[in-house]
């Protein structure tokens, strides 16, 4: 059956459409195999990945699946805005040598495109990821983001997937939604990413005065999560902040602080208390709204052959990148409906979701071959090419004749306190590093956390690290296994045993963003975890993304080597080679000091919002 399936390429965003998007991504489906990747991981400056055709990811995928552009049967794009110019798409297909020679005019291209190009709305791309991750043939999906795109400007959609058919049961086009409210709080706290509000919230307290202010923002008369947003004036760009070494277009155009009315009301409160109160406010109000929506408008409308409680619910869209919200969703809904979260809820997951939606609705039959068991869908590199690179830059390294021996040495290094970069097999898809391109440390040592934050990663001290735990030991460390997720998408409460065994992996509020590792989700990482367990009796490693400034995740062996030499990780474990930093650098190259600050010292440095 698989041989009859079309070869599909899916791209987000639609090239040449009139809107600024970020997170350009591409997915390919060929004979039951998937390739999926984000362009921002492959370009030297991730800002340049915005609004362009994801060329590098596209060719990585063609290489991985041994294809050329004209082998592709179906091209999927997001539904275009009303201003989209079809001529530009024709030019793109000519440029990439996709078209047969007789398709040489706009008219013949239009005929060809009727059979070969499919447009799928933004929210269906979000929900379609559930078709590839969910074993159940029938399911509901709730998709929530800041407001889709110009081709599908909804912010919230409830979808029903039933027996090969898809139906939108409910949708709103509300710009003043919960996702944008969360982004507004991040802006007030001078963060660019909403996840930082969630990370900082663990250090604060819920304050009644802040809650009153936040409550006053919500329009209770509305049936939607609808807040007031008032800007005192438009925040102006600050060109003098231009830094060519770390160019960040977004920060230049949207300098903090934003001129928000709410910011004025929150002056004088500590940022961690604003973060804590906001997270609880957003979760509780959104869940209250969602319960009403599902019981009054969705479950009621289901066909009698479907019982609402039998349907899993797949949550997708950028709003569900919030691990605290996801925990509350599982808390509130999992007793009646299985709650599912994907590896890429944000727009970086749209191209793969579109393929899922297309396969589900066009083939009308679910097959096991469509299910994705592993998030390792990106590029891989041959052992010989990695060895050639190491030799060409004259690095000293250890070489092993089996992966088991490599893992044993790597596990030993970690258990002795070293921080390692782990670069193995195919890269993971989505915003989290899941053991394909990860930085790993010993979770038993509290010092691992401050070393990782301040030396190796130079990221905010309050951001938690994730414990990657072997699946069969989940109960040892996680209070409720319902919260164990293979993609690090839910903050879970940890057991007393976890606080004792793996203190560096437990956030100050007693939670962790756990990654449950199985043999099927990532074999290489699973083997390393087992070697570490054999040595230490601890079935867990501290896992964080393998990135550096300007590159969201290390993607190529060369980037990984540069990271080793110019940051403070101790070893790079790449394929069956282990490269040490100290053996390859003289002291004069060591860029960072070893001094770190404790969390309590960092907390004292926070100042009230001004
Ligand atoms: Fe979206």
For the chain, the structural domain boundaries read 2-78+80-120, 178-341, 383-604
Distance 350 CA to ligand 1 centre (A): 8
Distance 84 CA to ligand 1 centre (A): 19
pLDDT in the model for residue 35: 96
Domains 2-78+80-120 and 178-341 share a fold: yes
Task: Identify which of 20, 3, 24 has the alpha carbon closest to the alpha carbon of residue 350.
Answer: 24
Asked whether the predicted pLDDT for residue 426 surpasses 90, the reply is yes
Distance 560 CA to ligand 1 centre (A): 30
**DSSP H or E segment with residue 27:** strand 25-30
Distance 518 CA to ligand 1 centre (A): 29
pLDDT in the model for residue 588: 43
Distance 122 CA to ligand 1 centre (A): 6
Q: How far apart are CA 540 and CA 373, in angstroms?
A: 21
**If you search the block for the tokens 């474990």, which residue do you land on?**
573
413 touches 587 (CB < 8 A): no
CB within 8 A of 559, min separation 6: which ones?
548, 551
Sign of dihedral through CA atoms 100, 102, 104, 105?
A: negative
Distance 419 CA to ligand 1 centre (A): 35
Distance 148 CA to ligand 1 centre (A): 5
Distance 318 CA to ligand 1 centre (A): 6
Distance 100 CA to ligand 1 centre (A): 34
CB within 8 A of 224, min separation 6: which ones?
156, 172, 174, 177, 289
Matching CATH number, 2-78+80-120, of 2.60.40, 3.30.420, 3.30.70, 1.10.12: 3.30.420
Instruction: Tell me what percent of the residues of the chain surpass a pLDDT of 70.
Output: 92
Determine the straight-line distance between the first and last CA of the chain, rounded to whole angstroms. Answer: 63
Distance 588 CA to ligand 1 centre (A): 46
Asked whether the predicted pLDDT for residue 1 surpasses 70, the reply is no
List own/partner pairs for 490-493 with CB under 8 A and 24 or more apart: 490/323, 490/326, 490/327, 490/330, 490/341, 490/514, 491/198, 491/323, 491/324, 491/326, 491/327, 492/327
Mean pLDDT of 318-337: 93
Matching CATH number, 383-604, of 3.90.79.10, 3.40.630.10, 3.90.870.20, 3.40.50.150: 3.90.870.20
Q: How far apart are CA 566 and CA 455, in angstroms?
A: 11
Mean pLDDT across the chain: 88
To the question of domain 178-341 being in CATH 3.30.420, the answer is: yes
Distance 454 CA to ligand 1 centre (A): 32
Angle formed at CA 189 by CA 183 and CA 194, multiple of 5 degrees: 35
Distance 20 CA to ligand 1 centre (A): 13
409 touches 401 (CB < 8 A): no
Sign of dihedral through CA atoms 433, 439, 440, 444?
A: negative
pLDDT in the model for residue 380: 95
Helix ranges (H only) for 267-316 are 271-293
Distance 13 CA to ligand 1 centre (A): 11
CB within 8 A of 281, min separation 6: which ones?
211, 214, 215
Distance 381 CA to ligand 1 centre (A): 31
pLDDT in the model for residue 114: 95
Distance 569 CA to ligand 1 centre (A): 34
pLDDT in the model for residue 191: 87
530 touches 524 (CB < 8 A): no
Distance 8 CA to ligand 1 centre (A): 21
Q: Considering only 124-133, 184-193, 202-211, which range has the smallest mean pLDDT?
A: 184-193
Q: Considering only 32-36, 259-263, 335-339, which range has the smallest mean pLDDT?
A: 259-263
């Amino acid at each position: 059956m698989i041989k009859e399936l079309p070869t599909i390429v899916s791209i987000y965003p639609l090239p040449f459409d009139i809107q600024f998007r970020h997170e350009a991504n591409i997915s390919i489906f060929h004979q039951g195999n998937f390739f999926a990747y984000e362009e921002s991981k492959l370009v030297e400056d991730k800002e340049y990945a915005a609004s362009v055709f994801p060329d590098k990811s596209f060719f990585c995928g063609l290489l991985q699946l041994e294809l050329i552009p004209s082998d592709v049967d179906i091209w999927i794009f997001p539904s275009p805005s009303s201003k989209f110019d079809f001529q530009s798409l024709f030019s793109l297909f000519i440029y990439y040598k996709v078209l047969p020679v007789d398709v040489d005019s706009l008219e013949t291209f239009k005929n060809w495109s009727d059979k070969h190009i499919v447009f799928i709305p933004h929210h269906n791309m979000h929900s379609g990821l559930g078709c590839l991750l969910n074993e159940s043939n029938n399911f509901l999906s709730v998709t929530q983001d800041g407001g889709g795109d110009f081709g599908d400007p909804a912010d919230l959609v409830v979808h029903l997937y039933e027996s090969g058919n898809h139906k939108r049961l409910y949708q709103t086009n509300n710009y003043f939604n919960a996702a944008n409210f969360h982004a507004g709080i991040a802006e007030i706290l001078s963060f660019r990413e909403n996840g930082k509000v969630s990370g900082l919230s663990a250090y604060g307290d819920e304050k009644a005065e802040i809650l009153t202010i936040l409550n006053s923002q919500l329009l209770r008369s509305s049936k939607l999560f609808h807040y007031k947003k008032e800007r005192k004036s438009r925040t102006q760009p600050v060109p003098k902040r231009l830094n060519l070494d770390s160019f960040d277009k977004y920060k230049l155009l949207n300098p903090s602080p934003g001129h928000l009315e709410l910011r004025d009301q929150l002056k004088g409160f500590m940022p961690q208390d604003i973060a804590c109160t906001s997270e609880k406010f957003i979760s509780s109000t959104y869940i209250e709204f969602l319960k009403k929506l599902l019981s009054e408008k969705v479950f009621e409308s289901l066909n009698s052959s479907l019982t609402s409680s039998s349907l899993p619910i797949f949550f997708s869209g950028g709003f569900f990148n919030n691990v605290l919200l996801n925990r509350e969703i599982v808390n509130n809904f999992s007793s009646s409906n299985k709650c599912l979260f994907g590896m890429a809820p944000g727009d970086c997951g749209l191209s793969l979701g579109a393929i899922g939606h297309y396969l589900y609705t066009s083939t009308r039959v679910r097959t096991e071959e469509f299910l994705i068991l592993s998030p390792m869908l990106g590029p891989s590199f041959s052992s010989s090419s990695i060895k050639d690179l190491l030799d060409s830059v004259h690095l000293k390294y250890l070489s092993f004749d089996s992966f088991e021996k490599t893992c044993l040495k790597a596990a030993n290094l970690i258990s002795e306190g070293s921080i390692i970069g782990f670069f193995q097999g195919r890269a993971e898809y989505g915003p989290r590093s899941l053991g394909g391109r990860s930085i790993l440390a010993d979770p038993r040592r509290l010092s691992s956390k401050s070393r990782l934050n301040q030396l190796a990663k130079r990221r905010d001290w309050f951001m938690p690290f994730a414990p990657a735990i072997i699946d069969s030991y989940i109960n040892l460390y996680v209070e409720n296994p319902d919260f164990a997720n293979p993609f690090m998408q839910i903050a879970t409460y940890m057991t007393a045993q976890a606080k004792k065994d793996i203190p560096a992996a437990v956030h100050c509020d007693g939670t962790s963003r756990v990654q449950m590792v199985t043999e099927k989700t990532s074999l290489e990482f699973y083997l390393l975890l087992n070697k570490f367990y054999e040595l230490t009796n601890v079935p867990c490693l501290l896992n964080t993304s393998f990135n550096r400034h300007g590159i969201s995740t290390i993607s190529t062996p060369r980037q990984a080597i540069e990271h080793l030499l110019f940051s403070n990780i101790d070893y790079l474990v790449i394929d069956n080679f282990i490269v040490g930093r100290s053996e390859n650098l003289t002291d004069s190259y060591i860029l960072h000091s070893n001094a770190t600050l404790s969390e309590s010292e960092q907390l004292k440095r926070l100042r009230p919002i001004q």
